[in-house]
Chains A and B, each alone.
Chain A
Amino acid sequence: MSYTQRATPVFAQLCTFLVQDIHGDLPARVLNVLERRGRQRSSELKQSSYLNRIQIGHGLVVLAQQHLVFHSPSTEPTTFYEPDWCQCYDLVRVGKIAAFVEERFGQKASNVISNLLTLGHTSLADLLDAYFPSSQQGDGLTNTSTGVAASGDKDTVTSADELYDIVHTLMEHGWVIQASEAQYLSPEDLYNFAQQQALQEHFGGSFPTGTKDKDKLSQLVMANKRRIRDAWLELPNSSSSSRKRKANAADCDPCARQRLNDGQYASIKNCRHSPEDDLVIRVNPEKTAVAMRTHHLVGLVEQLIGSTTARLYEIILRSLEKNIPRCFEDYSDPAPANMEDQPQWEPNLDHIVNTRDIAQQAKIHGLDICNGLDPHAVARIAKTTSNGKGVLAQPVDHTTLSFHQREELVEGHMQLLVDHPLHFTTWHARGQYRVDFDLMAKHLIQHEIEDTLLAKHGVNGRKLVRALLRKGKLEERSVCNTLMASAATVRKVVNDLALQGYVETQEVPKVDRREAKLSNHLVWYDIQRARERLLHDTYKAQLRILQRINFEQEKAKELLNKANRTDVAGNESKYLKQSELQDLKKCQEVVEKLYLQLQRQDDLVAVLRDYCGPFLTA
């Protein structure tokens, strides 16, 4: 995550805020020191802060348990700590993760994932203990503060096997992965480690000298990184029988896991239970973005095309999600130096859907797929007629359609998706469509930038960046001609946008002195720059919202304290005065509104940051 990992002061501050919000002051203060001083040993941390050794220790434990810091490999004599900003930022998404899992796998799974989020990472045995406290208490994880309640509620897990099944499903779909020490390696450490491995295996431990070999090395490094990472996604080799908790040491095959967990990072513990019990699992941080992307795209289709098409698109994207562990490949092979070596672009076969399957699914969901299409087309398919205004002569009940007709109707919706300029799907083969996420990612970013400018600067702001994106660098006069607007209007938008850093201007004198009249005024737009600009501004806006939440709560502090008192909580109407009740309600609403906006800004962050890597412009 080298690109997304880059932290500006605003981003770091935002992350620290989030950590403080969820995990309290101490970890946030440790993080703050790490931010100011950079990579540190824990002893150095003490020197550069007012915290004592114990406090730092506690802080670091929390941070490490939650994967909020990187630390250097445990094989090294001293451990260095470094903040893992991305994971810190992801704290803003915990609510989303639970909601996504609930939508997909139901309430129980959502409950499990919430627990995993609270715990950071945990072994299956510990998780089981948390749900079904066994005789061995004092694990530290079973205390009630984790919110695990094993009651007979229909929404909570009732048996160990059920828990295993849920975890298994979640792992199968990539929501939960194996925890591994390699996840604690900072990008730099990971690179070194992968490089060391490559050197050992292919170059006898010493650095290669030739350019060809160097290229090969960088490829190997990437391949190693991918291998390390992909191993986390692997499912433990379990058959349902092994899940029956045989307390049999012979079942435990350390070699198997060693392979899975990549060499020195195998998590071999004593084998108390079945091998899976020792499996240490955590939530896959990359999967959230995949679900967010689905959600965002479906929302866009709903807005831009129609709700029925959006439902179908949701079916499509959800069916693909299982094959998509992450939004984009962060560790892709470095681009070859000359263009000819460029590997041929190949469509990703994992992103293909069949209209038959979708038609089937739509039927299961009871979706009226006649909606949102040209009535004439519907009439043709359903063998009826429609008048000029598109009213059907004989109404068509979608439940009575033949399978073939349903398929044709779905094709109609697919055509709408294909034809849209954002290219939500592309035609792949007869009856098959492909979702080209990479292509779309850029359009999505551009769409957000345009929306922002439309809201802030009106239609001319959006027109300008669209024109520049299409045509590249333009001279002021050509801008006027393209926008069909007067020079005065154009100058104003150009100035506004340039001030905010969305477009750049350049003045090229035509004579040997600098005079506005005798110069060419060029304007251009770089999507990557605008993207970073908007991302940074959004971080800042998020920070302001958090600060405002703090402020609003601070204002109502006394009241909130009172309302949170154990005797009052739940009996507010009994103990609080009418005016207090009103104030409390107002305060809660305000905070809720702010949190909602924070979440919506996070959606924007995801579009701008998480769906594709940086664009390289010449």
Chain B
Amino acid sequence: MASASTAPPELASKAEEGAAVAPAAEDMGSRADMLYEECAKRPEGTTFFQRDLTGMQIARDLNELLNLVGDLSNRHLLKPLQFEGEPCWKLRPKDIADKLRRLVPDERLLYQHIDNAHTEGVWSKALRAKTNLAQPTVTKYLKSLESKDLIQAVMSVKTPNRKMYLLKHLKPSEDVAGGPWQNEGDFDSALIEVAAKVVANKVEHDTCIRVSAGWNNYTSSDRQAVIAHKKAQTKSMPDIEDALPVQPYHPPTDSGASRLVHRSNPGYPTTITLAKYLNETGLLRGKTVRESDMEQLLEMLVLEGTLENVSASTFRTVIPPINQKFNGFVDAPCGNCPVFDLCSDEGPITARTCAYFAEWLETTSEEP
């Protein structure tokens, strides 16, 4: 992460003024390099204030320090910034500084503006407005910057069809690239699927228990109760459908298979605990989900019918229906019929000529 959150959005070009003072001696160049090396020892992305630089005790006095900094800035090795009105600097890697030195002024101008935009990126139209350059120039230089591996273009998620430019080494912000669920402007369905599965399993583990068939193997002492029990089993639900030959298969009341049952009084997982859990699994290849990302995923899972809300931010698993039946409409041909609206009492498509009924009933229909 090269972008420090403390960095001000505007570029202060003050230090460049220091460049006006001509480099005095060879010695100074090497001292400047020393300063650079010293700074490079610090963690990447550190912002240096004047007091930090003097603290390194490379420059003898303030004047010299300014000269050194000016020299480095000229060579694009230091990037001048401002934080709450105070000038400060950040290091630029040497290879990038090298490339920057070889840019033409317009190119450099564009680069600066793109640099300013940080991870948010900047739209090419906005660039044109800011730089007052002609569209073809902008396009040309953006291309060349891209080919030099200095900048990258990403599709914005918020405003699709907009190419946003940002520095090559930056990771586009959430606004541009979307949250962890998105990849190149679209939902990363593979990643979502994996995450959804992990989360769903976790919730199921926390809120449900799988009960095996023989969990309570009692032999009843009460003869009458046994009979009543048997009767209850066979009779289960008196259903008109039961009497008829074509009915969805009902497993007996105490089916041999194990069943999922909700735990009584479980600690329900929440958005926060689930986000933490998912991050800890390290499945997301370095991405982290924030609470809001998890909220989005969980809501989707609720809509999908995998989870259900217990309260606004707690969840549990939906026990899958024992035997999925829909309703009489969609289970019959007409409910799924592609020509439902064209079908009428007479004409080419009717219940008499219907091919779907014929297939379903295994009978024949009239030729239309």
Residues of A within 8 A of B (CB): 13, 95-96, 99, 103, 295, 298-299, 302-308, 310-311, 314, 365-368, 370-378, 386, 389-392, 395-400, 412, 415-416, 419, 421, 448, 451-452, 454-456, 459, 462-463, 466-467, 470, 480-487, 517, 534, 537-538, 540-541, 544-545, 547-548, 551-552, 555, 586, 589-590, 592-594, 596-604
Inter-chain contact A304/B264, CB cutoff 8 Å:
no
Complex alpha-carbon distance, A415 and B238, angstroms: 25
B246 touches A592 (CB 8 A): yes
Q: Does B305 sit within 8 A of A, measured CB to CB? A: yes
A552 touches B363 (CB 8 A): yes
Could you say which of B214, B262, B331 contacts A597, with CB atoms under 8 Å apart? B331
Say which residue of A372, A480, A604 sits within 8 Å of B261 (CB atoms). Answer: A372
Residues of B within 8 A of A399 (CB): 220-222, 225
> How many B residues face the partner with a CB closer than 8 A?
85
Q: Which 9 A-B pairs have the closest CB atoms?
A: A366-B228, A600-B328, A395-B218, A601-B328, A541-B334, A547-B351, A455-B330, A377-B264, A399-B225
Partner of A373 from the list B214, B221, B264 (CB cut-off 8 Å) is B264
> Does A305 lie within 8 Å of B299, measured CB to CB?
no
B329 touches A538 (CB 8 A): yes
Contact, CB under 8 Å: B303 / A467: yes
> Across the interface, which residues of B come within 8 angstroms of A370, CB to CB?
216
B264/A306 in contact, CB under 8 A:
no
Given contact pairs A395-B216, A599-B328, A303 touches B232 in the complex (Cβ within 8 A):
no
Looking at the complex, which one of A304, A487, A597 makes contact with B321 (CB distance below 8 Å)?
A304
Contact indicator B331/A391 (Cβ below 8 Å): no
Once A399-B222, A455-B330 are accepted as A-B contacts, the answer to whether A392 and B357 lie under 8 Å apart by CB is: no
- The docked-state distance in angstroms from the alpha carbon of A367 to that of B189 is 46
Residues from chain B with Cβ under 8 Å of A419 in the complex: 262, 310
Report if B186 contacts A (CB, 8 A): yes
Q: In the complex, what distance in Å separates the CA atom of A314 from the CA atom of B240?
A: 16
Q: Which chain A positions have C-beta within 8 A of B305?
A: 459, 462
**Docked CA distance A602–B236 (Å):** 22
CB contacts between A and B, total, < 8 Å: 241
Stretch at the interface among B6-14, B29-37, B94-102, B335-343: B335-343
CA distance A483 to B334 in the complex (A): 29
Partner of A395, one of B186, B187, B217: B217
A463-B303 in contact (CB<8A): yes
**In contact, B334 and A544 (Cβ under 8 angstroms):** yes
Report B27 CB to chain A, min CB distance, Å.
Answer: 59
Q: Which residues of A contact B160 (CB under 8 A)?
A: 487
Tell me what chain A mostly uses at the interface: helix, strand, loop, or mixed.
Answer: helix
Contacting residues of chain B (296-323) with chain A, CB-CB under 8 angstroms: 296-297, 299-300, 302-305, 308-310, 319, 321-323
Give CA–CA (A236, B92) in the complex, Å.
Answer: 98
18 pairs of residues in contact across A and B, judged by CB atoms under 8 Å:
A99-B238, A295-B239, A303-B321, A311-B232, A372-B259, A375-B209, A389-B210, A455-B335, A456-B335, A456-B336, A462-B305, A482-B300, A486-B187, A517-B161, A548-B354, A592-B245, A593-B245, A593-B361
Q: Are A548 and B225 in contact (CB under 8 A)?
A: no
0/1 interface trace, chain B 324-368, chain A, CB 8 Å (1 if under)? 111111111011100010010100001110100100011110100
B28 within 8 A of A: no
Cross-chain contact B240 with A599 (CB below 8 angstroms): yes
CA distance A114 to B362 in the complex (A): 34
Evaluate contact between A483 and B303: CB separation under 8 angstroms: yes
Contacts of B161 in A (CB 8 A): 517
Tell me which of A103, A376, A541, A552 contacts B209 (CB under 8 A): A376
Check: B244 CB closer than 8 A to any chain A CB: yes
A544 touches B351 (CB 8 A): yes
- B212 interface residue (CB < 8 Å to A): yes
> Is B335 a contact of A541 with CB atoms below 8 Å?
yes
Residues of B within 8 A of A304 (CB): 319, 321
Name which residue of chain A comes closest to B259, CB basis: A306
> Does any Cβ of A come within 8 Å of B202's Cβ?
no
- Tell me, in angstroms, the Cα distance from A410 to B31 when the chains sit together: 84
Cα–Cα distance between A28 and B326 once the two chains are bound (Å): 33
Taken together as a complex, chains A and B put the C-alpha atoms of A552 and B181 apart, in Å, by: 54
- Chain B nearest CB from A372 CB (Å) reads 6
Interface centre among A295, A373, A395, A600 (most CB of B within 10 A): A600
In the assembled complex, B247 has its CB within 8 A of some CB on chain A: yes
Residues of chain B contacted by A99 (CB below 8 angstroms)? 238, 240
CB-nearest residue of chain B relative to A598?
Answer: B328
Tell me, yes or no, whether B257 is within 8 Å of chain A by CB: no
Bound-state CA distance A466–B210 (Å) is 28
Nearest CB of B to A222, in Å: 34
Q: Is the CB of A396 within 8 A of B245?
A: no
CA distance A536 to B361 in the complex (A): 24
A239 to B361, CA, bound (A): 55
Q: Is the CB of A373 within 8 A of B261?
A: yes
What residues of chain B lie closer than 8 Å to A398, measured between beta carbons?
218, 225
- Flag if A412 contacts B303 (CB, 8 Å): no
Given the interface pairs A467-B303, A599-B328, A600-B328, the reply to whether A552 lies near B361 with Cβ below 8 Å is yes
Structural contact, A596 and B216, CB atoms closer than 8 A? no
Residues on the B chain within 8 Å of A483, using CB: 300, 303
Q: Does B41 contact A (CB under 8 A)?
A: no
Query: In the complex, how many angstroms separate the beta carbon of B222 from the nearest chain A beta carbon?
Result: 5
B363 partner residues in chain A, CB cutoff 8 A: 552, 555, 586, 590
B350 close to A374 (CB less than 8 A)? no
- Min CB–CB distance A317 → chain B (angstroms): 12
- With A390-B212, A452-B335, A601-B329 as known contacts, state yes or no: A421 contacts B261, CB within 8 Å: no
Q: Which residues of B contact A103 (CB under 8 A)?
A: 238
